[in-house]
Chains A and B, each alone.
Chain A
Amino acid sequence: AQSVTQLDSQVPVFEEAPVELRCNYSSSVSVYLFWYVQYPNQGLQLLLKYLSGSTLVESINGFEAEFNKSQTSFHLRKPSVHISDTAEYFCAVSGGLGGKLIFGQGTELSVKP
């Protein structure tokens, strides 16, 4: 069985500061890892994903995450945040092809001017 722990429920940060949202997972099989973003009153959108290959994956809006198998982590980072990045971020894991998607508890990122 897989599980996901997001270590911070809320992360307040000032605009243009760097941010890291932490995610740890546990699984007995190979995993696929995802970060989803949810803007207020909306559904979830895929931000980035790790399936295989390079352990560093990037999104189109400047976020990146690194798959660390030894640490069982998939932390999300951005070197300089914008007000528009304010949202809730969810880390998720699936047990490879055919595995169901399990989410963490979410991290609320609040970017202040």
Chain B
Amino acid sequence: NAGVTQTPKFRVLKTGQSMTLLCAQDMNHEYMYWYRQDPGMGLRLIHYSVGEGTTAKGEVPDGYNVSRLKKQNFLLGLESAAPSQTSVYFCASSYPGQLMNTEAFFGQGTRLTVV
């Protein structure tokens, strides 16, 4: 049981380049999230999805796009990377349909540097 898997684990981009971060979960969870973690700011929600084919904006969505074409995958795209997007990105999933299983499970993170 792999849980939540993020690829890649590290990436360096040049300003203006694009890339896609992939998140995959094998727990049949309905909800999936993308967060970014910056020193002193905790985890801020970028976008989230409450089910296959649906997405919604979080606290800091500008400069990012997402897609949830399959229930198990949640993709985060950067169309034109900027140095301000240098961060550690975490994907998480949860299954709010069951009270006792409402916690979120996290991937190991993707460390992205934009130069």
Contacts and interface: CB of A to CB of B under 8 A. Distances in A.
Interface string A86-113: 0000101010011111111110000000
For chain B, which range describes its interface: under 10, 10 to 19, 20 to 34, or 35 or more residues? Answer: 20 to 34
A90 B106 contact: no
Interface stretch (A11-19, A46-54, A56-64, A73-81): A46-54
Nearest to B98: A97
A42 B96 contact: no
A81 to B, nearest CB: 22
B94 interface: yes
Interface in A1-21: 6, 9
A94 B102 contact: yes
B103 A46 contact: yes
B104 interface: yes
Given A42-B108, A97-B96, A101-B92, A32 B42 contact: no
Nearest to A100: B48
Interface string B64-104: 00000000000000000000000000101010110110111
A53 to B, nearest CB: 10
B33 A44 contact: no
Contacts of B103: 34, 46, 49
Contact of B43 (A9, A49, A90, A98): A90
B44 to A, nearest CB: 8
Given A43-B90, A44-B90, A104-B42, A99 B106 contact: no
A45 interface: yes
A94 B102 CA distance: 9
B98 to A, nearest CB: 9
B106 A45 contact: yes
22 contacts: A6-B42, A32-B102, A34-B103, A34-B104, A43-B109, A44-B92, A45-B106, A46-B105, A49-B103, A51-B102, A52-B99, A90-B43, A97-B99, A98-B96, A100-B45, A101-B33, A101-B45, A102-B45, A103-B42, A103-B44, A103-B45, A105-B40
